């Protein structure tokens, strides 16, 4: 089973989403240490990292090759 061109593009977007999520998570850690966890920016960064990770997970699931039908 092989990915077609569109699925490869979606896989690239998923990798970029995971990378972006890791960057935002790193900034969140810095913000939590510097500003505190209760600061508005820290909460926003945490929410952004979770959102990006979830989007990347969905994109990864969409990029998987199609399974053959059960009858074959």
| Domain definitions of the chain by residue range | 22-63
For residue 26, what pLDDT is reported?
A: 97
Task: Evaluate whether 36 touches 54 at the Cβ level (below 8 Å).
Answer: no
pTM for this prediction: 0.84
Query: What tens digit of pLDDT does each residue of 19-72 get?
Result: 999 999 999 999 999 999 999 999 999 999 999 999 999 999 999 988 888 766
42-63: burial string, b at 16+ Cβ within 10 Å, e else: beebbebbeebbebbeebbeeb
């Amino acid at each position: 089973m092989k990915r077609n061109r569109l699925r490869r593009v979606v896989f690239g977007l998923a990798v970029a989403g995971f990378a972006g999520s890791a960057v935002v998570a790193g900034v969140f850690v810095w913000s939590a240490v510097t500003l505190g966890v209760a600061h508005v920016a820290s909460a926003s960064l945490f929410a952004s990292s979770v959102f990006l990770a979830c989007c990347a997970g969905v994109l990864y699931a969409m990029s998987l090759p199609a399974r053959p039908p059960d009858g074959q």
